[in-house]
Chain A
Amino acid sequence: MKLTSLFTSAAMALGLATGVMAEPTKVGFVYVGPVGDGGWTYEHDKGRQAVEAEFGDDVETTFVESVAEGPDAERVMTQMVLEGADLIFTTSFGYMDQTINVAKKFPNVRFEHATGYKTADNVSVYSARFYEGRAIQGMIAGEMTKTNIIGYIGSFPIPEVVRGINSAYIHAKKVNPDVRFKIVWAYTWFDPAKEADAAKVLIEQGADVILQHTDSTAPLAAAAEAGNVIGFGQASDMAEYTDGPRVSSIIDNWGPYYIERTKAVMDGTWETVNTWDGIGAGMVGIGAMTDKIPADVQDAANALKASIASGEYHPFTGPLKKQDGSDWLAEGEVADDGTLAGMNFYVEGIEGDIPN
């Protein structure tokens, strides 16, 4: 008894002296794919590692990978809470209802849900303005295509993906009025076999640029096999294809956000926020452009990137019409976030319908 109290007071004195909390802050991450997917989950895990590197012993991170969206996710989140997590990042849209359910049960634990829209007193949401990267990607694609056919592998026809297609198309069309988009829906986020099939179909139909909104490197592998086809890294840099088809990439950079939010929990300043950051804030990065892209195109791409980053230019600036020819944005008008968040229409010029 005496010994224990001695230890306790010693620990308290030490704690007061150094000003460090005895218990490290525990941060949990729930991943939808394997950490080795080379794309979406890989980048979230890099963010987790950045948190560890930043705070060292003051933080303890855990993760569970390949967690199915649904009841399994709810169980894994609860498991993290039971094991003492102070902050949990749930990194897939499909975890939305589960995050809200678990958060309701544990009001003292903070949750951060990626790409969703439901918030609570202890649930924040965050996402990146990937469409800003798509604008630059579209511009490069429009300049580079010789067949004037750009293939696009969509995952699911949801606003996030539709927004990316529109942004890429608008900026490809701007530099190349003859450009056409061929879109294939893979109905998966991560399935190398299906993604490769989709890429092959598009290449057979004449596409010499492949854009993808799925997470594996399989489309790049298919492009490499076909030769004379270029592509972009998606979610991650996918630098291993730099000598091959990869000419640039859109990189999700979650590290700074994860560090900031972990810090907020440590400092007791955490509040519910709705974050949607882009190139300017560093959440979206553009991977190094290779020599395959001519210097003048690189310059133009960098200029576009700079103007988006500074907020001078918005990728959805009028005049723009919807696919059916109806007016959407007047000259100089900029799309509001609400419309972008729920975007369920193509802009004028894109062929085909959004499946539903």
Chain B
Amino acid sequence: MIVLEKRPQPSQAWSMATPLIAVLATMFFGGLLFLTLGKNPIEAIRTIFYDPLFGEFAFYYRPQLLVKGAPLVLIAIGLSLGFKAGIWNIGAEGQYIMGAIVGAGIGLAFYPLEAWYILPLMVIGGAFGGWIWAMIPGILKVRFGTNEILVSLMLVYVAEQLLASMSLGLLKNPEGHGFPGSRNLNDYASTNGWIDQNVGMHWGVVAALIAVIFAYILLNRHMLGFHIRLTGDAPRAAKFAGVKPARLILFTLGMSGALAGLAGLFEASGPAGQITIDFSTGYGFTAIIVAFLGRLHPVGILLAGALMALTYIGGDIAQGSLGLPAAAIQVFQGMLLFFLLAFDLLTNFRIRLASGKVA
């Protein structure tokens, strides 16, 4: 009989190994799924994981990895700070939208003026938009003890309505023939967030890398980072160590909101180019997967973000060239999180074969 035995201490080795095993298991079972759909599994896996990096058209797909991965990493870094401390911001998607609206709104307000200070102001606006949206669940939790999971999630839907209203009203392009959507920010030098489109570089990529470094230093070298980790690992000890929960809640929620807002602004000023009804494509939710896939560790998140981006880009290639349905790709991506959580069990438990007799 197989029994699970709790490890006295979480296994460091398993903690490192589970993401890798999860990826391999996903490849295997995903391959089976593709096989049952009548596709060559080896070819499908190769198309998803290998072609974007080393295939014939890798020169185009590699930069796209930056475009797709940057917002995921930026948001996931923010979320990981809260998650580490047991503070669950599920509404990054809403904060992402609000950052984009506020930041892009500032840029559009200056139209048609061109000036060097517009983009920096938009960046500040983006961070502010996300921050203020995250402060709502933050303050409600601190003052009234509401559940931040529910409040932050519900605010996503409010933000989506606001996005629709902005695309159709206040921020609508006056020269857009009555169609929804703002002016294209890429068309104006002062609001264009691209550094070099051909290599996929925009300011959001830079910000994501800075965020990784910043988070690493914060968690490993700073008192606040220690408090975050302590609160997550041992809440009672944290109290004795003088951690003020309210401050920690506001800091982590605010930080994750600000980073999500920045991701939204950079997306709006770069790859997306405009605020439209369909601006939000789920980065805020996918980033939750990325944060866990990366073990809530800054470097892990960087790698996980790249991996997620790879499955998205490779998935679209597989659709186009192999005729795999989109739903199969989504199941494939879902498997990744599923296996990660399943194998995660081995970090805290070990499997033992016990004699079948039970007293």
**Alpha-carbon distance A156/B278, docked complex (angstroms):** 11
Known: A65-B319, A72-B281, A97-B273. A156 touches B326 (CB 8 A): no
User: A158 and B276: CB pair below 8 A?
Assistant: no
CB neighbours (8 Å) of B312 from chain A are: 72
CB neighbours (8 Å) of A34 from chain B are: 325-327
List B183-219 residues whose CB lies under 8 Å from chain A.
184
CB neighbours (8 Å) of B267 from chain A are: 71
**Alpha-carbon distance A342/B173, docked complex (angstroms):** 13
CB neighbours (8 Å) of A157 from chain B are: 168
List A18-59 residues whose CB lies under 8 Å from chain B.
28, 34-35
Whether, in the assembled complex, B320 has its beta carbon less than 8 Å from a beta carbon of chain A, the answer is yes
Which residue of the partner chain, among A66, A70, A356, contacts B272 with CB atoms under 8 Å? A70
Known: A64-B316, A67-B316, A97-B184. A356 touches B177 (CB 8 A): no
CB neighbours (8 Å) of A80 from chain B are: 320
Which B residue sits closest to A341, measured CB to CB?
B177
CB neighbours (8 Å) of A64 from chain B are: 316, 319-320, 326
Known: A79-B316, A97-B184. A158 touches B325 (CB 8 A): no
User: B179 and A355: CB pair below 8 A?
Assistant: no
List A178-217 residues whose CB lies under 8 Å from chain B.
187
Taking the closest CB of chain A, its distance from the CB of B265, in whole angstroms, is 15
User: B319 and A94: CB pair below 8 A?
Assistant: no
CB neighbours (8 Å) of A82 from chain B are: 56-57, 60
Whether, in the assembled complex, B172 has its beta carbon less than 8 Å from a beta carbon of chain A, the answer is yes
Whether, in the assembled complex, B64 has its beta carbon less than 8 Å from a beta carbon of chain A, the answer is yes
Whether, in the assembled complex, A76 has its beta carbon less than 8 Å from a beta carbon of chain B, the answer is yes
Which residue of the partner chain, among B165, B276, B316, contacts A70 with CB atoms under 8 Å? B276
Whether, in the assembled complex, A78 has its beta carbon less than 8 Å from a beta carbon of chain B, the answer is yes
Whether, in the assembled complex, A221 has its beta carbon less than 8 Å from a beta carbon of chain B, the answer is no
Taking the closest CB of chain A, its distance from the CB of B136, in whole angstroms, is 22
CB neighbours (8 Å) of A63 from chain B are: 319-320
Whether, in the assembled complex, B238 has its beta carbon less than 8 Å from a beta carbon of chain A, the answer is no
Known: A97-B184, A159-B178, A355-B165. A70 touches B278 (CB 8 A): yes
List A54-96 residues whose CB lies under 8 Å from chain B.
62-72, 74-76, 78-80, 82-83, 93-94
Taking the closest CB of chain A, its distance from the CB of B133, in whole angstroms, is 19
Q: Mark B305-347, 1 if CB is under 8 A from A, else 0.
A: 0000000110011011101011100000000000000000000
CB neighbours (8 Å) of B327 from chain A are: 34
User: B277 and A72: CB pair below 8 A?
Assistant: no
Whether, in the assembled complex, B161 has its beta carbon less than 8 Å from a beta carbon of chain A, the answer is yes
User: B320 and A71: CB pair below 8 A?
Assistant: no
Whether, in the assembled complex, B271 has its beta carbon less than 8 Å from a beta carbon of chain A, the answer is yes
Whether, in the assembled complex, A290 has its beta carbon less than 8 Å from a beta carbon of chain B, the answer is no
Whether, in the assembled complex, A344 has its beta carbon less than 8 Å from a beta carbon of chain B, the answer is yes
Known: A342-B178, A356-B168, A356-B169. A68 touches B281 (CB 8 A): yes
Taking the closest CB of chain B, its distance from the CB of A336, in whole angstroms, is 14
CB neighbours (8 Å) of A78 from chain B are: 60
CB neighbours (8 Å) of A93 from chain B are: 179
Whether, in the assembled complex, B164 has its beta carbon less than 8 Å from a beta carbon of chain A, the answer is yes
User: A156 and B168: CB pair below 8 A?
Assistant: yes
Taking the closest CB of chain B, its distance from the CB of A32, in whole angstroms, is 9
**Alpha-carbon distance A65/B329, docked complex (angstroms):** 11
Whether, in the assembled complex, A117 has its beta carbon less than 8 Å from a beta carbon of chain B, the answer is yes
Which residue of the partner chain, among A35, A156, A342, A344, contacts B164 with CB atoms under 8 Å? A156
CB neighbours (8 Å) of A266 from chain B are: none
User: A71 and B271: CB pair below 8 A?
Assistant: yes
Taking the closest CB of chain B, its distance from the CB of A109, in whole angstroms, is 14
CB neighbours (8 Å) of B178 from chain A are: 158-159, 342-344
The 3 closest A-B pairs by CB, nearest first: A71-B271, A356-B169, A68-B281
* Chain A to chain B contacts (Cβ below 8 Å), 5 pairs: A34-B326, A64-B319, A117-B179, A158-B179, A341-B177
18 more A-B residue pairs beyond the given contacts A71-B267, A94-B277, A158-B168, with a C-beta to C-beta distance below 8 A: A34-B326, A67-B316, A69-B276, A69-B278, A72-B312, A75-B64, A79-B317, A79-B320, A83-B57, A117-B177, A156-B168, A158-B180, A159-B178, A341-B177, A343-B178, A355-B169, A356-B165, A356-B172
- Chain A residues with CB under 8 Å of chain B are 28, 34-35, 62-72, 74-76, 78-80, 82-83, 93-94, 97, 117, 156-159, 187, 341-344, 355-356
